[in-house]
Amino acid sequence: MKPIYVTMPFLPRENEFEAILDSSLKLRILTHNGNLHQLLEQQLTEKLDVTSISLINNGTIALEVAIQALGLKGKIITTPYTFIATANSILLKGLDPVFIDIEDNGFNLDPELIDEVKDKDVSAIMPVHVYGLPCDDESIGQRAKGRGLKVIYDAAHAFGIKKKGEAILNWGDASTLSFHATKVFHTFEGGAVVCNDPLLKNKINQVRNFGYTSDSFDITTLGTNGKMNEAQAAMGLALIPYLEEIITKRKHWFNFYVEQLSEIPGIKLMTIPSDLEYNYSYFPILVQSGFSLTRDELFNRFQEENIFPRKYFYPLITDFSLYKNYNIISKHKIPNARKIADSVICLPLYPDLTEDDVSRVCEVIKRAEG
């Protein structure tokens, strides 16, 4: 029985990628803001309907670049229910994360709990659009403005998502993307920072290139090597023509799961708001008390059937030894995040699945139901 993994990267035809990359190979320009890099920035700016985008070599460095470019100090409020890179980027820039709980019956940071963090050392909020579901930007923005805080959205899951026709990547002071191979859109490995402020855009571009000014004659800010190379950009350019196909196929399998699983007691499915233009990046289920197996028992049952979903996101970041040892965990309780982390399984979802594949996944759940 063939294995079914939680995701598989979509690939263009080999000759399409090679044809694009060949142009940079002929010029012997492999990195450092090459022609393909510039072209991908232009195309993504248009495709994503954003003001500006700066390509970065990966999503974690994109977060670090945003923190550095905004000149943040002290502490950043964030969520424990996310991938480890969110919090690591804060620590790696010398700041401390302050963790607050997620919303009840949701996956994203609870804006009301921002008010409970009285620490004057807080300089920013880093919410995460978990599974691509938009955070409450209005509430977060009001609180940030009232306290003079910056907002960086970790939008690793939010490629191309719009709410009421507006690209959510334009929210906050900056949004960061991941173009890792597992994402809806990828560049092998990669990322980006989106912002609306031309001055901040220039600062981001400096930070990603060691701090050099645009003329490369001076360094006025601390920077890193965050540049995307031409091979990465070539993969992105090769995939852009396939975006509609990628989203359409993901939506098809998403809806297939909904049809098969929506009536099973104890299995709760994620709801997509009607005003959302979604990218169908994840299909999480919550295994609740009404189901015949616990989450971990169902997870193990999948493994026995050569199916490999993931517990996205378990454990919580606040449960990792690194964060306990740093003594930076907020005193705020996080019951909502813990409830979700202890019950979630993300099922396989990617364009190249077949009906047999998705039916096999669903049958494991149906057989367990009895």
Domains contained in the chain, CATH given = 14-242 (3.40.640.10), 243-369 (3.90.1150.10)
Exposure string for 240-252, b = 16+ CB within 10 A, e = fewer? bebbeebbebbee
Tell me how far the alpha carbon of residue 120 is from its chain's centroid.
28
Quickly state the pLDDT bin for 216 (edges 50, 70, 90).
Answer: confident
Q: How far apart are CA 321 and CA 128, in angstroms?
A: 22
Tell me how far the alpha carbon of residue 358 is from its chain's centroid.
24
Side chain identity at 57, as an amino acid letter? N
- Judge whether 97 and 63 are in contact, CB under 8 Å: no
Percent of the chain at pLDDT exceeding 70: 98
Average pLDDT over residues 4-31: 93
- State the chain's mean pLDDT as an integer: 95
Q: How far apart are CA 86 and CA 79, in angstroms?
A: 9
Report pLDDT for 329: 55
Quickly state the pLDDT bin for 330 (edges 50, 70, 90).
Answer: low
* pLDDT tens figures, 114-154: 999 988 999 999 999 999 999 999 999 999 999 999 999 99
Q: How far apart are CA 314 and CA 126, in angstroms?
A: 19
Secondary structure (H, E, C), 313-355: CCCCHHHCHHHHHCCCCCCCCCHHHHHHHCCEEECCCCCCCCH
Taking 90 as the threshold, does the pLDDT of residue 88 lie above it?
Answer: yes
Quickly state the pLDDT bin for 215 (edges 50, 70, 90).
Answer: confident
What three-state secondary structure class fits 310? Answer: strand
Average pLDDT over residues 292-311: 98
Tell me how far the alpha carbon of residue 144 is from its chain's centroid.
22
Quickly state the pLDDT bin for 370 (edges 50, 70, 90).
Answer: low
CB atoms within 10 A of CB 104: 9
Report pLDDT for 197: 97
Report pLDDT for 327: 45
Exposure string for 205-239, b = 16+ CB within 10 A, e = fewer? bbbbbebbeeeeeeeeeebbebbbbbbbbbbbbbb
Within 8 A by CB and 6+ apart from 239, the residues are 10, 12, 185, 186, 187, 246
Q: Where are the alpha helices (DSSP H) in 7-93?
A: 14-27, 35-48, 59-69, 84-92
Taking 80 as the threshold, does the pLDDT of residue 331 lie above it?
Answer: no
